[in-house]
Structure 1
Amino acid sequence: MDTRKRTADRSAAEEDAHGSPPRTVEGLRNLAVSIGRDEGGVTLGAKAHAVLAKLVERPEEVAVRKITDLAESLGVNASTLTRLATKLGYGGFVDFQRVFRDSLAQQHRHFYSQQAGRLVERAQGLRAPGAAPEIDTVVQLARESIDNVEAFLAQLSAADLRAAAKLLASARRVRIHGLRQFGALASFLSYGLGMIRTDVGLLDAQGLGVAEGLAQLQRGDVVVVTSVSPYTRGVAEAAIAAAEAGLTVIAITDTRASPLVAPARHAFFIPHDSSFFSNSMGAYMVFCEGLLNLVATHLGKSSLQALERRERFIADLRIEWD
């Protein structure tokens, strides 16, 4: 058992001992089990207990969603969540939600090291006589990416895809925004769109800042944002600012609990579950390739003309090796 797990268990035990409401998600999970066994010192009705059980199994969603949105997703009234929080001993729903937010922040601080730790443990387990860990590692990552692709395909909305492709084809200007690892995805999407239409670019291509990039856009222009857990604050804030300015936001993210969803007109959810030491990008690349093809199809002859014009410049400038 690692140090963080021991700390969480000890914290949960201390919470029970002092009779105060749990301050960790693990403590809340233990409390939910105890209540179900009539051992928790707190009495909840069957409906309230079922809601608590659902909440502790979706901590990221509880951490970031508004109480009204969360209640709607659970099929209850917002007042039900407030009463539940009070019944458990919290000062209100905000106090209850803080437990999940603190847990999420702690998890994000260790995201990359935890991923790498699992990778090392798995590699050590493969060191059996005759094993080929190099091949096994690549095969496992490939299969995980296939699973992620199948997962996003299962929940794709044809209406959202059609509408997003139309927006990306017809908007006067399109800007893409992603930072850190997803800066690479933003660059790929910007490059691909730029092959088939004009006035496409990264939101902060010149390094002058997001505010400058947004100020150059007008109502009806499109901003595509992309980030996944652990989310990049700057991307989420840019999405909110863009929507408030009347720009159309399209989000490429991981879950419905993502902070990019609320300001977006269309959001696409791509899982990234993987043994890779960071966020897996494979399924995201497949999705973006599909989206680019849809935009090209929507543009029709104009996309062909754009590609032919590009090819002429490539030939004239002798860019490609013969």
Structure 2
Amino acid sequence: MDTGKQKARRASATDTGTQMPPRSVDGLRELVIRIGRDEADVSLGGKAHTVLAKLLERPEEVAVRTSTDLAASLDVNASTLTRLSTRLGYAGFADFQSVFRDSLAQRHRHFYSQQAERIVASSKTHAQDATPEVDMVVKLARESIGNVEGFIAQLSPAGLRGAARLLANAKRVRVHGLRQFSALASFVCYGLGMIRTDVALLDAQGLGVAEGLAQLQPGDVVLVTSVAPYTRSVVDAAVAAKDAGIEVIAITDTLASPLVAPARHAFLIPHESSFFSNSMGAYLVFCEGLLNLVAAQLGKRSLQALERRERLITALGIETS
């Protein structure tokens, strides 16, 4: 909903014949290009132009972070963002930020259909290729490699060490992810269960998240995972766990993720790809690495747990050659 200032500014722009500021992120990107070519009605100094370009590289963060946080990440004053917003024709930073919030909401609303549209368009473009089926698989594989390289570049040794210690030493560990990420949650739960006791999905018995959290005590751990478009109930569970004194570890995508705030340790894994949903490849690779770190932290305890598991598998004749 427009504020009084926003309406007043738009009315003023209409009266004076000046061009309205873009109301979409794509429109802002086009404006940045026109400004750089001296083809726009508005001009910016070199520093302001650079700041705007950097903001457009991180639209999800701009949508949810405060002007103070964004300014600090860009090494500028918050007033710089306010001046930039008004110079572009917006009523202020809040009006400028609303463009990113609206764009983010629209993107999440149509995420899956938009991903599928890209696949259809790509298949038509490459219909005459000699091996279009192989090309599509190769493209996805290369995109997953790029996502892996993306998370490797921002890994924190202290964060990995801290998360591994929590997962190794907590009395109880619960893992929570829904929809597509229920598969990742099950994978992490299975892996942890191989090397330590008292690990389970948060709602393993289908009694509800509240019942699952009620079984935990301060100092226990809940590992949560979700990416844009985020599952609201997973976010709510993370916040409730933190409020109850339970340690939260998050596996998510960006600093703008609502899972970052309640987490003691948050790991950011990209999922950009041409897959019609969120790409899972990099998430599985990261979780394998995290599980290895937990096993190393447990030391002999993990070896003993694996040996006990092997004896039971043999006794029950579960595996066959």
| 1:235-250 correspondence to structure 2 within 5 Å | 235-250=234-249
Q: CA deviation at 1:34?
A: 4.9
Which residue in 2 is equivalent to 1:156?
155
Secondary structure at the aligned position of 2:250 is classed as strand
Summarize the Cα distance change of 1:73–1:292 in structure 2 as closer, same or farther, 3 Å threshold. Answer: same
Deviations along 1:191-229, one digit per CA (max 9) or x if unpaired, are 110111111111222222222222222221111111122
Q: Structure 1 vs Structure 2: percent identity of aligned residues?
A: 73
Deviations 1:253-297 (A, max 9, x none): 222222222222222222222221111111111111111111111
- Cα distance in 1 between the residues matched to 2:117 and 2:51: 33
**Deviations along 1:101-145, whole A, 9 cap, x unmatched?**
11011112222222222222222333336x122222222222222
Cα 1:247–1:17 shift into 2, 3 Å = farther
Q: Aligned residues, how many? A: 308
Q: Which residue of 2 aligns with 1:288?
A: 287
- Superimposed CA distance per residue, residues 50-95 of structure 1 (whole angstroms, 9 cap, x where no aligned partner): 3223223321110122332212111122333234334444444333
Farther off after superposition, 270-279 or 287-296: 270-279
Q: Secondary structure at the match of 1:220?
A: coil
**Distance between the aligned counterparts of 1:56 and 1:233, measured in 2?**
26
Alpha carbons of structure 1 residues 49 and 171: separation in structure 2 relative to 1, 3 Å:
same
Deviates more, 1:52-61 or 1:100-109: 52-61
**Contact 1:221–1:248 under 8 Å retained in 2:** yes
Partner of 2:4: none
Alpha-carbon distance in 2 for matches of 1:54, 1:292: 35
In 1: Cα distance, 2:89 partner to 2:220 partner? 48
Which residue of structure 1 lines up, in the alignment, with residue 306 of structure 2? 307
Residue in 2 that maps onto 1:266: 265
CA distance in 1 between counterparts of 2:198 and 2:114 reads 41
Q: Match of 1:135? A: 134
Farther-moved stretch of structure 1 (46-55 vs 69-78): 46-55
TM-score by length of 1: 0.85
SS in 1 for 2:248: strand
Distance 1:181 1:115, change over 3 A: same
**Superposed CA RMSD:** 2.6
Q: Which amino acid in structure 2 is aligned with residue 103 of structure 1?
A: S
**Does 2:197 align with 1:198?**
yes
Closer, same or farther: CA 87–217 of 1 in aligned 2, 3 Å: farther
Q: Is the 8 A contact 1:64 1:259 kept in 2?
A: no
CA–CA distance in structure 2, aligned partners of residues 210 and 18 of structure 1: 53
CA apart distance, 1:35: 4.9
* Equivalent AA in structure 1 for residue 127 of structure 2: R
Q: Separation in 2 of the partners of 1:125 and 1:278?
A: 20
What 5-or-longer segments of structure 2 have no aligned partner?
1-12
Rounded to whole Å, the distance in 2 between the matches of 1:105 and 1:118 is: 19
**Take 2:209 and 2:247, find their aligned partners in 1: how far apart are those partners?**
16
Measure how far apart 1:43 and its partner are. 5.8
1:75 aligns to what? Answer: 75
| 1:165 to partner: Cα distance | 0.9
SS of 2:179's equivalent?
Answer: coil
1:227 aligns with 2:212: no
Give unpaired runs (5+ residues) of structure 1: 1-13
TM-score, structure 2 normalization: 0.86
User: Is the Cα–Cα contact under 8 Å of residues 179 and 232 in structure 1 kept in the other structure?
Assistant: yes
Is 193-202 or 50-59 further displaced after alignment? 50-59
1:137-162 Cα deviation digits (max 9, x unpaired): 22222222222222222222222211
Change (3 A) 1:177 1:67: farther
Alignment match, 2:251: 252
Does 1:172 find its partner at 2:171? yes
Greater Cα offset, 309-318 or 199-208:
309-318
**Equivalence for 1:94:** 94
1:180 CA drift (Å): 1.1
Return the offset for 1:38. 6.1
Q: 1:91 to 1:219 in 2, by over 3 A?
A: farther
Alignment of 1:5-84 (within 5 A): 19-35=19-35, 40-42=40-42, 44-84=44-84
Matches within 5 A, 1:180-219: 180-219=179-218
